[in-house]
Chains A and B, each alone.
Chain A
Amino acid sequence: MIVAENVEKRFGDMPVLKRVNLTVAPGEVVTILGASGSGKSTLIRCINGLEQLSGGRITVDGHDVSTKAGLVAARRASATVFQLFNLYPHMTALGNITLAPIEVLKLPKAEAEARGRALLERVGLSAHADAYPQQLSGGQRQRVGICRALAMQPRYLLLDEVTSALDPEMTGDVLRILAELAADGTTMVFVTHEIEFARHISSRIVFLEQGELIVDLPTADFFAEEGGLAVPRIRQFLSKLKKD
């Protein structure tokens, strides 16, 4: 379980997250919606310890990410997929996927590579195992990014706008894989602008507005007239996205 309690984050004097409370239970797919700059990505970066909290507490399976030992355990339990892929440019697709399993999980190289190849096969990239990131398209890179995260066998998958840098066709490829993972029961925290997709795969949707978590509802209720749509800000946000 991921638990965020009264999480505060400031960059200098600027508050980015204000007393955010969020709980993600195993098996859930929680989507974080909100305008750009509302703090969605910062919240993800607080959960995986890339940003230090200014206040409050985040635990992953009981491990406090603000402590050294807690962060190690929390990072062991979760894996992150990034908007701009962040692949290691000097390693092949397979090298990207097997580095942490070999170095952190201490898997034998052969086993890590067998698993890596199986993951690449699953996302339709078995032919590209030996390609370097430079030689892959954006969609292919992001699929490698997903494989790299899954290779750590995380209990929680953190997805930070993973399709925002992709064209619609590539987005489709990536979303199909995420839908499969959701169907398999993978726990996900999903920051996205893909509302329709989020509606299909999420169990819950939360909405951030200028650093405040103003709505936290089961997906069906979020899109119901008397639920999320009753909140003027959300109605406005959704109608704007539909026009695009």
Chain B
Amino acid sequence: MRFWRVIEPYIGFLLQGFALTVAACLLAVIGAVLLGALTASMRSSGNRLVRGIANVYGDVFRNVPFLVQLFFFFYGLPELGIYIGAFETGVIALSIAGGAFVSDVILSGILTIDPGVIDAAKVSGLSRVKIFTRIVLPIALRVSVRPMGSVLINLILTSSILSTITVNELTGAAKIVAATTFKPFEVYAVLLVLYAALTTLMSFAISAAHRRLNRFMTGG
């Protein structure tokens, strides 16, 4: 097996890169969802200033290439006296970029909610935070969770760009191996499988979440 002979000496190194990709994606997905939910709540706020801030954030980070955002943080933060590692910078940049898109899909879910349901929650005396976390978000997510899946899968794919700021995640590791072995086809074939595995896993998780959130819609 020619293929395996090429890959075998480097499989440990590639898997290390894969582990780094998984870690970055896991953290970035959590960060993007939290930031996206917070931003969506701000964008549906009655306060114009709060809404404005959230809209500016969304517009800026959806309309600038991720590579540019990443370089901006990677080279810009030290200028501001903030010194964090490349991995941390990458996770933060991914969270911020992902959050802008996640806020979009959650907001579209929020806009489908019957305002009467919110009225009922308000008159019952629930606080605004409770109304958002217990009523608005779970109802919005039942329609938002699938488009959010696309956004999060895209986030996983985008994580490959972290290789440009010295993070040797899966793509970064592969570049090194390909350059060492002069066998890019074999190396990138491995990447193809690993990325597909990761995104497929995400798809399953999203489907499960969708079923769970919509369980009350069946029957009756």
Contact = CB atoms under 8 A, between A and B. Distances in A.
Scoring B123, B134, B139 by chain A CB atoms within 10 A of each residue's CB, the highest score goes to B123
B102 to A, nearest CB: 20
A66 to B, nearest CB: 15
Contacts of B220: 131-132, 134-136
Interface in A63-105: 72, 75-76, 78-80, 82, 84, 86-92, 99-100, 103-104
Given A132-B216, A132-B220, A134-B217, A100 B119 contact: no
Q: Is the interface of A mostly helix, strand, loop or mixed?
A: loop
Contacts, number: 76
A152 B125 contact: yes
B219 A89 contact: no
A130 to B, nearest CB: 11
Interface in B108-136: 114, 116-117, 119-127, 130, 134-135
A79 B121 CA distance: 11
Scoring A84, A86, A134, A135 by chain B CB atoms within 10 A of each residue's CB, the highest score goes to A86
A186 interface: no
B123 A88 contact: no
A48 B123 contact: yes
A193 B135 CA distance: 31
B124 to A, nearest CB: 4
B112 to A, nearest CB: 11
A82 B120 contact: yes
Interface residues of A, number: 30
A125 B1 CA distance: 69
Given A84-B116, A90-B213, A75 B219 contact: no
Contacts of A88: 117, 120-121, 135, 139
B142 A90 contact: yes
Nearest to B117: A86
Contact of A100 (B114, B124, B138): B124
Interface string A47-70: 011100000000000000000000
Contacts of A76: 125
Contact of B119 (A82, A90, A133, A148): A82
Contacts of A84: 114, 116
B117 A87 contact: yes
A100 B116 contact: no
B219 A135 contact: yes
Interface in B40-57: none
B123 A90 contact: no
Given A86-B116, A86-B117, A86-B119, A134 B219 contact: yes
A91 B142 CA distance: 13
B116 A82 contact: yes
A86 B116 CA distance: 5
B123 A50 contact: yes
A70 B179 CA distance: 71
Contacts of A100: 124-126
30 contacts: A49-B122, A50-B122, A50-B123, A72-B125, A75-B125, A76-B125, A78-B123, A79-B123, A80-B123, A82-B116, A84-B116, A86-B114, A86-B116, A88-B120, A88-B139, A89-B117, A89-B217, A90-B216, A99-B124, A100-B124, A100-B126, A103-B127, A104-B125, A104-B126, A132-B216, A133-B216, A134-B216, A135-B219, A135-B220, A152-B125
Interface of B: 114, 116-117, 119-127, 130, 134-135, 138-139, 142, 213, 216-217, 219-220
Given A89-B216, A135-B220, 4 more contacts: A50-B123, A86-B116, A100-B125, A152-B125
Interface of A: 48-50, 72, 75-76, 78-80, 82, 84, 86-92, 99-100, 103-104, 131-136, 148, 152
